[in-house]
């Protein structure tokens, strides 16, 4: 059964407060994730043949490579691991203990296997957990992680920490176990900084500038790995897609920027979409879910960024209701806990 939300309320109609923006980010993450669930891992041509441009939530088809038969509106690992990060942050008083994070990720995958799900840990995270389980040092476990796993689950860090050096430190902490590389940290820093800027009241353009700046700073942390510079690619992609219509925009993102699990592709595609369609959050997520490739992650990150910038008015009320009905999402409780950490972090030191 297809679930097609109605058109979004004008996101500019009211000025949202920090809590509304935090909820906009968390619900945006889940809505984007659920939109991209049935199309993840599929080529763009096949998505176009089956659905055209996605109009709303669809169930996972029986031949879906990752989420066969999942009900419409269901979230995937992107949201579930972001929830895990949020809980660890709150329980840890604003910090993520590396070994606790590793155990939580391992337990999460074990639970998914028991449920018969094919939606398991990504390649960088799985490799890092194997190193830790074999007795390897935590500081070395994530030294090859360059995929988008850290970026997809980092939005709660952006809610919990205000803009500034402490935000980057917390991003690095969240990447240490699985993505402790220049590329992995830069990608996660870009997402967290955009969300944090949005919570602080920034519009989309200001949040994107914060993302590029954080990516440059993040690229100075972690183990060096070869790969395109995230900040430079974000800046280039934002210019490259300017003025394109929807069809050409999707073609350029899919064929030129890329939508794979590589951070230099999917995370860059997020910010290119935000630059091109950031004033229309709901249609932007529908485009993201129709791109092909790692659609659930691209749409989830985009939803978190645009939700932080626009607040809950970005999302149709029936889209929020649909993901709430299909999933256990304690976002109000988590938003309050994360914002309490943010207020504490924003206080001047004595």
Q: Which domains does the chain have, with CATH numbers?
A: 18-343 (1.10.4080.10)
pLDDT of residue 104: 87
pLDDT(50) > 70: yes
Question: Where is average pLDDT lowest: 100-114, 165-179, 280-294?
Answer: 100-114
So what's the pLDDT on residue 16? Answer: 81
> Among residues of the chain, what percentage have pLDDT more than 70?
92
**Any idea which of 22-36, 37-51, 105-119, 199-213 has the lowest mean pLDDT?**
105-119
Please determine, for residue 8, whether its predicted confidence score (pLDDT) is greater than 70: no
pLDDT at residue number 120: 64
What pLDDT does 346 receive? 55
| Known binding-site residue numbers for Mg(2+) | 76-78, 294, 296-297
The Cα 272–Cα 302 span in angstroms is: 10
Q: Which residue has the higher pLDDT, 160 or 111?
A: 160
pTM: 0.93
Q: Residue 279 and residue 266: Cα distance in Å, rounded? A: 20
Residues forming the annotated binding site? Answer: 76-78, 294, 296-297
Residue 13 pLDDT: 45
Per-residue pLDDT at 10: 42
Over residues 83-99, the mean pLDDT reads 95
Instruction: Report residue 106's pLDDT band, with 50, 70 and 90 as the boundaries.
Output: confident
pLDDT at 348: 38
Collapse the DSSP code of 57 into the 3-class scheme (helix H, G, I; strand E, B; otherwise coil) and give the result.
strand
In this prediction, residue 134 carries a pLDDT of: 81
- Please count the residues of the chain: 350
Q: How confident is the model at residue 254 (pLDDT cuts 50, 70, 90)?
A: very high
Q: Looking at residues 74-78, what average pLDDT do you find?
A: 94
Across the strands, what pairs with 57?
A: 3
> What confidence category does residue 129 fall into, taking pLDDT thresholds of 50, 70 and 90?
confident
Six token digits for residue 207: 């949040």
pLDDT tens for residues 157-216?
999 999 999 999 999 999 999 999 999 999 999 999 999 999 999 999 999 999 999 999
Q: Residue 118's pLDDT band (boundaries 50, 70, 90)?
A: low
Flag the least confident range among 1-10, 133-142, 160-169, 218-227: 1-10
Q: What is the structure's pLDDT at 131?
A: 83
- pLDDT band for 11, please (50, 70, 90 cuts): very low
Contact in structure between 285 and 302 (CB atoms under 8 Å): yes
Q: Residues 69-86, buried b or exposed e (16+ Cβ, 10 A)?
A: ebbbbbbbbbbbbbbbbb
């997020």: which residue's tokens? 270
Candidates 299, 298, 274; CA nearest to 56 is: 299
**What digits encode the pLDDT tens for the residues 309-330?**
999 999 999 999 999 999 999 9
CA pair distance 94, 118, nearest whole angstrom: 32
């Amino acid at each position: 059964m297809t679930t097609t939300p109605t058109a979004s309320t004008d996101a500019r109609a009211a000025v949202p407060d920090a809590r509304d923006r935090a909820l906009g980010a968390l619900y945006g993450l889940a809505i984007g994730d659920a939109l991209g669930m049935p199309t993840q891992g599929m080529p763009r041509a096949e998505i176009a043949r089956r659905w055209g441009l996605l109009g709303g939530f669809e169930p996972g088809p029986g031949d879906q490579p990752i989420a066969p038969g999942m009900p419409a509106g269901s979230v995937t690992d992107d949201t579930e691991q972001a929830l895990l990060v949020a809980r660890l942050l709150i329980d840890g008083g604003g910090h993520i203990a590396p070994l606790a994070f590793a155990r939580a990720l391992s337990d999460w995958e074990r639970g998914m296997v028991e449920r018969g799900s094919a939606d398991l840990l990504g390649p960088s995270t799985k490799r890092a957990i194997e190193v830790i389980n074999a007795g390897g040092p935590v500081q070395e476990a994530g030294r090859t992680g360059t995929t988008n796993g850290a970026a997809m689950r980092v939005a709660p860090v952006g809610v919990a920490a205000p803009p500034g050096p402490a935000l980057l430190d917390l991003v690095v902490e969240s990447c240490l176990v699985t993505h402790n590389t220049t590329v992995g940290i830069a990608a996660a820093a870009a997402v967290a900084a955009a969300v944090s800027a949005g919570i602080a009241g920034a519009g989309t353009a200001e949040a994107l500038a914060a993302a590029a700046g954080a990516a440059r700073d993040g690229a100075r942390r972690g183990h060096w790995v070869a790969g395109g510079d995230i900040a430079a690619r974000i800046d280039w992609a934002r210019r490259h897609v300017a003025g394109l219509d929807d069809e050409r925009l999707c073609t350029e993102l899919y064929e030129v920027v890329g939508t794979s699990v590589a951070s230099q592709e999917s995370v860059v595609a997020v910010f290119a979409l935000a630059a091109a369609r950031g004033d229309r959050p709901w249609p932007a997520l529908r485009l993201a879910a129709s791109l092909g490739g790692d659609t659930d992650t691209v749409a989830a990150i985009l939803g978190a960024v645009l939700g932080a910038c626009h607040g809950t008015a970005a999302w149709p009320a029936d889209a929020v209701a649909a993901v709430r009905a299909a999933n256990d999402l304690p976002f109000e409780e988590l938003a309050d806990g994360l914002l309490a950490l943010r207020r504490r972090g924003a206080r001047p030191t004595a």
